[in-house]
Amino acid sequence: MPSAHDMPAQSVSPLQPLPTHPRFVSLEGGEGAGKSTVLDALRQRLQRAGHEVVSTREPGGTPLAEQIRGLLLNVAADGRALHEKPAAETELLLMFAARAQHVRETIQPALARGAWVISDRFTDSSYAYQGAGRGLDTGLIATLERDVVGLRPGLTVLLDLGVAIGRERTRGRDLYPDRIERERDDFFERVRRAFLDRAAAEPERIRVVDASRPLEAVVAAAVAELERAMQRAEAA
């Protein structure tokens, strides 16, 4: 029997870029950046133009994915932890389990019928939180993204905000912060840096908006990015 050294080398195809969808928009950024307000403004702008809009979130977006969200955030109504702290790898796989369900049950059907989809977070968050934040291999995340998700937004609006400012804005917002919100500042600094690095690597898709400005200016900048995406979608 020939040894492995005697066998002909098999060619390995390079990874192809994931397809993006022009009517799929995601919002990213740290806590206190104003994602909920911006998402509502984007939704209203699209509706004024006569479009159906599906607003959704991650983790979540379907009944099953929302149950996974509860496992991930791990906080009861009285502030108690519901279970032991998940390992970083467990957190990542649960995120992608929720995302797979979200894509197949909510995002893909909406895009197929011609709707716009706006998601509060998508896979860029896994690169930032589980990759940079938890220190997991981004190669593993890329493999999961390719094999489990298979799709990227045509536009990602990154609401960039300093960690200290975000902490101040969210102080007292939740009586019982969830497991991720309780992380230390250095965790969120790594997350922010990863988001900005991804934006630098994909400047056409990921558009950075300075979220330290007054909320009206942040909303206006995000809507302007959406309007450019609307023009691209019409031309596609």
- Which residue has 């991720």 as its token pair? 180
Dmax over CA atoms of the chain, in Å, equals: 71
- Which residue has 């995601």 as its token pair? 26
Mean pLDDT of 197-225: 97
Are the C-beta atoms of residues 221 and 39 closer than 8 Å to each other?
no
Indicate the class that CATH gives domain 19-55+113-235.
Answer: alpha beta
pLDDT, mean over the chain: 89
Q: Measured between alpha carbons, how far is 34 from 25 in angstroms, rounded to an integer?
A: 16
Per the document, the length of the chain is 236
Mean pLDDT of 139-163: 97
Confidence of residue 135 (pLDDT cuts 50, 70, 90): very high
Are the C-beta atoms of residues 68 and 98 closer than 8 Å to each other?
yes
* pLDDT tens digits along 47-93: 999 999 999 999 999 999 999 999 888 766 666 777 888 899 999 99
Residue type, 26: S
Q: Nearest CA to 34 among 157, 188, 178, 189?
A: 157
pLDDT(36) > 50: yes
- Which residue has 């975000």 as its token pair? 166
Report residue 147 as tokens. Answer: 């094999």
Q: Measured between alpha carbons, how far is 219 from 119 in angstroms, rounded to an integer?
A: 16
Q: Measured between alpha carbons, how far is 46 from 85 in angstroms, rounded to an integer?
A: 40
* pLDDT tens digits along 170-193: 776 665 566 677 778 899 999 999
pLDDT(9) > 90: no
- DSSP output for 90-131: HHHHHHHHHHHHHIIIIIHHHHHTT-EEEEE--HHHIIIIII
pLDDT on residue 172? 64
The domain limits of the chain are 19-55+113-235
Q: Measured between alpha carbons, how far is 118 from 115 in angstroms, rounded to an integer?
A: 10
Helix ranges restricted to H, the chain = 35-48, 63-73, 88-102, 108-112, 123-125, 138-144, 163-170, 185-201, 215-235
Cis (ω within 30 of 0) for the bond into 14? no
